[in-house]
Amino acid sequence: MFLTESSRGWSNPQQTFLCFLLCLLLVFLTGSLLQQSVNAGAISSAKFSASLVELKIDPNTADYGSLIRLPDVGSGRARRLLAFREAQHTQTSAQPVFTQLADLERIPDFGPKTVENLAPLLTFPAPAKPQ
């Protein structure tokens, strides 16, 4: 059987239609993928926010590993906080060093903006009730 010019491939209208279908499929798949990534991002940010609420740390008791995980607190700031806490703790051994957010501003390199960013991630001890 000999192949003629018309039987060897797809005709121009068939090629055009196939190209249209492939483009339509590509648009549909791209839209689905974008929708999934947006939904996944919303879910992961909600999970992240929920985990932050559950994992507030007390700067009076936090260790180095916990501190360096905080945003804007790297190795240097974590060491400065620990050193400051240790120095202050020896002077006031019965009282916590940090009782409120503003107390962190006494640490070198902990400015108002850094402290403000840390606010939702930290917890402080309740004030002692007088006896």
Query: 32-63 pLDDT, tens per residue?
Result: 877 777 666 655 555 555 454 457 999 999 99
pLDDT of 7 over the 50 cut: yes
Distances (CA, A) of 104 to 24, 75, 88: 57, 16, 12
User: Higher confidence at residue 22 or residue 59?
Assistant: 59
Which pTM does this prediction carry? 0.56
Residues 6+ apart with CB under 8 A from 14: none
Residues 6+ apart with CB under 8 A from 120: 52, 56
